[in-house]
Chains A and B, each alone.
Chain A
């Protein structure tokens, strides 16, 4: 028996007009989890967050927080707090007043409010900024104000709506670490909504991938990356080489598959797959070589079509003789290479059959 979840959604739907923004979503979030809702823009993840905060009412379904049914509970009575995408820091109040707002409207004694504000500001490392006004703060500092303002209420869950999307890259990485540290420190369940897979993968304990209002897969980051459940998830998370194929036969725990452009290959498989399938392989698992690879690998010969240099690694796009375009991610391990790769050069790509993912949908 696992402990009771902090949040439980049962068949929650939200329709605007005839269109379902959230379509029969059921999920459970565990206590103290860092949970991410990941999906492209317009997939319904923000609507789902607004349903939890109480700004939208579900068309059907039940939302339970810590066992309490939230139907009919207005936003100001819900045990959740939100960090808005625009941060929504009150422009006419100082940092201190912003952070104290939630306690003051609750009518907490002044002394306690002051103490908790000081604690909250220290926690987000904004000590000394009490008297500053929002327009004197950077984007990152404003976000810290929004975080302190929400956390000071000691919610059962903190909802974060695309919290890092407005920050530049360096600051975003810093805030990712900061959010994970904060979550550990305060022991509150975090639910983050994002379209940025790196954000979700690096911070979350578990991720739900949402498309068109539905959750396609819910898993830990590594499982989601290495074991995507369907083509759309595989394609959305990271980069993926996808090939069409058809199962020919199953024998001795191996699947024989006819793949377009690669010919007939054998994969370890449990025999459930049949008919049309998709074969997927991550670019970093594809090896690039000038010599023909050893036996036992899936291999194809081709020429280098294009090279995209990222500094730490490069994406090498190979056009195979069979007409496939395969992306290979190659770590740039030495500063100077003796014989660097050149566009137009013939080469081999290969990978281990066990690194392939077989997708049936």
Chain B
């Protein structure tokens, strides 16, 4: 005789397990299909015709696809680095100081998040043309406008994530550090930053993902001859989705998963303990 399932024995309820399975199918089936058909030996994404790595080779040899891919990675790295820095500094300022108009700044912070992307794109395009942002620069300077646009919508996400992390920070820790003889910079480096780190990593990951797959804002801010991966994929799919697109997308998924794994490993508590001055 088995005991009746307790209120928290979720795994012993059949309908719950079925629901869980359905959720996973809903979430991951499209991605699994995308990856599977990148190995399909057919020009069309409909019927399985056998395994091939042909389309990976084709994607590799497609210079404009590779260029778009490289552009996207470079943009994402730059935008992530800049927006993480700005976002963290903003979060720190909001956490630490009281100043007139603080509530307004915090409200304005969420604005780039709620403004429809299309409006943001148009606004950025108008802005860049109004100030006469130079076009036709050599690579990688030609990515400047896109990086600036990405930073503009990424850093609020970082700021909000870091701000949330800092809400749980005991101010006495900073005071204790100074009381023990540390200056402002030492305190920031040895006490504040280690505490902030999970927020920084999460915010950076968020910024990276947002930047990598952004289409709308990139479309409006890129010059006539600057291609990014999402824009390139869009133009390829217009002439029919080919397994080349699948192959390139699979590589991108791999890159993001890899980055996430690294980020999660960086946040392991065992690693944070070895921090500290000359430990």
Contacts and interface: CB of A to CB of B under 8 A. Distances in A.
Nearest to A98: B276
Nearest to B278: A104
A309 interface: no
Contact of A105 (B180, B272, B275): B180
B52 interface: no
Given A91-B195, A92-B273, A101-B276, 6 more contacts: A77-B181, A78-B179, A88-B170, A97-B276, A105-B186, A149-B180
Contacts of B179: 53-54, 75-76, 78, 80-82, 150
Contacts of B191: 90
A86 B180 contact: no
B115 interface: no
Given A55-B175, A84-B172, A150 B180 contact: yes
B173 A88 contact: yes
B176 A97 contact: no
A244 interface: no
A77 B276 CA distance: 20
A285 B181 CA distance: 50
A181 interface: no
Contacts of A105: 177, 180-183, 186, 190, 277
Residues of B in contact with A, size category: 20 to 34
B194 interface: yes
A-B pairs, top 7 by smallest CB distance, nearest first, are A102-B180, A88-B176, A88-B172, A105-B182, A104-B277, A75-B178, A92-B272
A347 to B, nearest CB: 52
Contacts, number: 84
Contact of B172 (A80, A86, A94, A101): A86
Contacts of A82: 175-176, 179
Given A88-B170, A90-B173, A92-B272, A106 B178 contact: no
Contacts of A106: 181
Contacts of B279: 93, 97
B229 to A, nearest CB: 37
A282 interface: no
B275 A93 contact: yes
Nearest to B271: A92
Contacts of B273: 92-94, 97, 133
Nearest to A155: B179
Contacts of B272: 92
A276 B183 CA distance: 56
A146 B177 CA distance: 11
A101 B178 contact: no
A202 to B, nearest CB: 26
Contacts of B181: 76-77, 102, 105-106, 153
A74 interface: yes
A36 B186 CA distance: 32
A82 B194 CA distance: 22
A190 to B, nearest CB: 15
B276 A76 contact: no
Chain A interface extent, by class: 20 to 34
Contacts of B195: 91-92
Contacts of A80: 179
Given A86-B170, A93-B273, A76 B183 contact: yes
26 contacts: A53-B175, A53-B179, A54-B179, A74-B178, A75-B175, A75-B179, A76-B180, A85-B172, A86-B170, A90-B173, A90-B176, A90-B177, A90-B276, A91-B195, A92-B194, A92-B195, A92-B273, A92-B275, A101-B180, A101-B277, A105-B181, A105-B190, A149-B180, A150-B179, A150-B180, A153-B181
Contacts of B178: 54, 74-76
Interface string A25-58: 0000000000000000000000000000111000
A110 interface: yes
A101 B175 contact: no
B180 to A, nearest CB: 4
A101 B177 contact: yes
Interface string B243-256: 00000000000000
Contacts of B173: 88, 90-91
A93 B182 CA distance: 15
Given A90-B173, A105-B186, A153 B180 contact: yes
B41 to A, nearest CB: 53
A148 B209 CA distance: 45
Contacts of A101: 177, 180, 182, 190, 276-277
Contacts of B186: 105
A91 B178 CA distance: 16
A153 B186 CA distance: 17
A93 B276 contact: yes
Interface string B156-179: 000000000000001011011111
Nearest to B195: A92
Nearest to B186: A105
Contacts of A94: 273
A192 to B, nearest CB: 16
Contacts of B180: 76, 81, 101-102, 105, 149-150, 153
Contacts of B182: 76, 101, 105
A9 B275 CA distance: 40
Interface string B189-211: 01100110000000000000000
A110 B276 CA distance: 14
A32 to B, nearest CB: 21
Contacts of A91: 173, 195
Nearest to A104: B277
Q: Chain A CB within 10 Å — which of B179, B190, B195, B275 has the most?
A: B179
